């Protein structure tokens, strides 16, 4: 026998809140909205996470995240798509689908380039020769220049 549940989302995937109410999802909840998948997290870091930036688990607890990351050392749990997660807020990260990513200031990639985590939530093109050999989590849909954002297909765990 199969068992499944349906998660009602009363606020939408652009929701950002500093406190959880009785109708808010639990941290760690996954949600499918159209052809995109999201993860509900808490920004436990000291910096806001803006649209186009990836977040990593902060090692504080469960799905507490931060924008602070080290190039080719960490792996993202999602990318902010809709609304900035200021410090101490809850919100949704895109984990699968099309969204904007922000390229590292010293890196660029062509259309179809595989993407890895850069520093502080940015991305870099996967390349052994340039020192970005980490596991890819996305693919650039068009060329993305140094320090700017562009569209990518993301598939994060």
Entry pTM? 0.88
Closest C-alpha to 98, from 85, 117, 115 = 115
Neighbours of 30 (CB within 10 A): 13
* Structural domain boundaries in the chain: 26-95, 100-155
Q: What is the pLDDT of residue 133?
A: 81
Kindly tell me the sign of the dihedral angle through the C-alpha atoms of 89, 95, 99, 102.
positive
Least confident of 11-20, 80-89, 146-155: 11-20
The answer to whether residue 3 scores a pLDDT higher than 90 is no
Rounded to an integer, what distance in angstroms lies between the CA atom of residue 101 and that of residue 123?
A: 7
Higher-confidence position of 130 and 57 = 57
Give me the mean pLDDT over the 11-35 stretch.
88
Q: How far apart are CA 81 and CA 84, in angstroms?
A: 8
Tell me what pLDDT residue 8 has. Answer: 52
Residue 94 has pLDDT above 90, yes or no: yes
């Amino acid at each position: 026998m199969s068992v499944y549940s349906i998660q009602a989302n009363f606020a939408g995937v652009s929701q950002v809140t500093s406190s959880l109410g009785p109708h808010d999802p639990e941290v760690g909840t996954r949600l499918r909205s159209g052809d995109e998948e999201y993860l509900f997290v808490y920004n436990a870091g000291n910096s806001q996470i803006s649209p186009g930036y990836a977040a990593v688990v902060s090692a504080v607890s469960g799905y507490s995240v931060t924008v602070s990351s080290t190039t080719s050392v960490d792996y993202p749990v999602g990318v902010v798509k809709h609304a900035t997660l200021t410090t101490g807020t809850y919100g949704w990260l895109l984990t699968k689908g099309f969204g904007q990513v922000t390229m590292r200031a010293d890196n660029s990639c062509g259309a179809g380039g595989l993407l890895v985590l850069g520093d502080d939530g940015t991305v870099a093109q996967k390349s052994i020769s340039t020192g970005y050999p980490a596991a890819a989590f996305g693919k650039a849909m068009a060329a993305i220049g140094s320090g700017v954002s562009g569209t990518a297909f993301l598939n994060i765990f």
